[in-house]
Amino acid sequence: MASTPVRSSAPGKVILFGEHAVVYGQPAIAVPVTQVKATATVDAAPAGSGLTIVASDIGERIVFARAPKKDPLAAAAQATLSYLSAREPDATLTIKSTIPISSGLGSGAAVSTALTCALAKFLGHPLEPAEVSKLVYKIEKIHHGTPSGIDNTVIAYEKPIYFTRGEPVERLNVGEPFTLLIADTGKPSPTKKIVDRVRRAREREAAHYDALFDQMGDIAAEARGAIESGDIETLGPLMDENHELLIELGVSSSLLDELVETARLTGALGAKLSGAGQGGNIIALVEDDFAEEVAEALKEAEAAQVIQTKVR
Ligand code: MEV
Q: Cβ(29)–Cβ(17) under 8 Å? A: yes
Task: Note the CATH number of domain 6-170.
Answer: 3.30.230.10
d(CA 279, CA 191): 10
Could you tell which of 14, 15, 153, 199 is best to mutate to test the pocket of ligand 1, judged by most ligand atoms within 8 Å of the CB? 15
52 lines ligand 1 (CB under 6 A): no
Ligand 1 atom, smallest distance to 276 CA: 10
The active-site residue out of 43, 90, 151, 288 is 151
Ligand 1 atom, smallest distance to 30 CA: 2
- List the chain domain ranges: 6-170, 174-311
Q: How far is CA 86 from CA 45, 123, 213, in A?
A: 17, 8, 42
Spans in the chain with pLDDT lower than 50: none
Could you tell which of 14, 22, 31 is best to mutate to test the pocket of ligand 1, judged by most ligand atoms within 8 Å of the CB? 22
Query: Tell me: the pLDDT tens digits for 89-140?
Result: 999 999 999 999 999 999 999 999 999 999 999 999 999 999 999 999 999 9
Q: Which of 147, 153, 127, 141 is nearest to 69 (CA)?
A: 141
Give the N- to C-terminal CA distance of the chain in Å, as an integer: 36
Is 151 a catalytic site residue? yes
Task: Supply the pLDDT for residue 143.
Answer: 81
Residue 176 has φ and ψ, to the nearest 5°, of -140, 120
CA of residue 61 to ligand 1 center, whole Å: 29
Q: Cβ(209)–Cβ(195) under 8 Å? A: no
d(CA 95, CA 9): 10
Q: Which of 34, 22, 196 is nearest to 110 (CA)?
A: 34
Task: Supply the pLDDT for residue 6.
Answer: 98
Task: Supply the pLDDT for residue 1.
Answer: 73
Task: Supply the pLDDT for residue 173.
Answer: 97
Where is 272: in which H helix or E strand?
strand 270-274
Task: Note the CATH number of domain 174-311.
Answer: 3.30.70.890
Paired strand residues for 44: 91
140 lines ligand 1 (CB under 6 A): no
